[in-house]
């Protein structure tokens, strides 16, 4: 429902940049794509302050095993826990280039707090990603 959905062209990868509770609609999209055995290449960058604040991690790890087209990249910004298996720091140019083969090719879906969504939009703009290749959804806490 709505406009924040997976695009139809499976030759075009989808890159999801999520922060905090913004993960909720993305979880539904990736779950559906995995269940339907979609041919889309999917990348999920999921940022939280600490590992304990991250929702649905077990679900994403399970989908990574089930779906060879899905890559899950969790990151934390305020914790340097030695047992953490994901990335450290904010989603940035270096992190995107490390995992996404062609930065200007995918469709990007951004969801999270307004400040995070604005920062990701600016980052993608600076990297030469077309405005037509970016969808956004802002989620703010109460």
| Segment 58-116, tens digit of pLDDT | 999 999 999 999 999 999 998 776 777 889 999 999 999 999 999 999 999 999 999 99
Evaluate whether 22 touches 109 at the Cβ level (below 8 Å): no
In a domain, 13, yes or no: no
Total domain count, the chain? 1
Tell me the CATH number at 80: 3.40.50.80
Other CB atoms within 10 A of residue 97 CB: 11
Q: Give the separation between CA 74 and CA 86, rounded to whole angstroms.
A: 5
Give the domain extent around 95. Answer: 30-138
3-state DSSP call for residue 65? helix
In a domain, 53, yes or no: yes
Q: What is the mean pLDDT of the chain?
A: 92
In a domain, 20, yes or no: no
- Which two structure tokens, joined as six digits, stand for 43? 């990348």
**pTM, two decimal places:** 0.93
In a domain, 34, yes or no: yes
């Amino acid at each position: 429902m709505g406009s924040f959905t997976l695009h139809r062209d499976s030759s075009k990868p989808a890159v999801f940049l999520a922060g905090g509770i913004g993960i909720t609609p993305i979880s539904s999209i990736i779950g559906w794509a995995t269940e339907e055995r979609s041919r889309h290449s999917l990348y999920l960058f999921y940022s939280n302050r600490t590992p304990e604040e991250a929702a649905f991690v077990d679900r994403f790890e399970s989908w990574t095993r089930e779906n060879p087209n899905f890559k899950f990249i969790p990151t934390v910004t305020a914790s340097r826990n030695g047992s953490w298996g994901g990335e450290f720091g904010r989603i940035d140019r270096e992190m995107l280039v490390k995992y996404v083969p062609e930065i200007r090719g995918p469709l990007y879906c951004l969801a999270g707090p307004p400040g995070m969504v604005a920062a990701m939009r600016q980052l993608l703009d600076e990297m030469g990603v077309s405005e037509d290749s970016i969808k956004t959804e802002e989620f703010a806490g109460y």
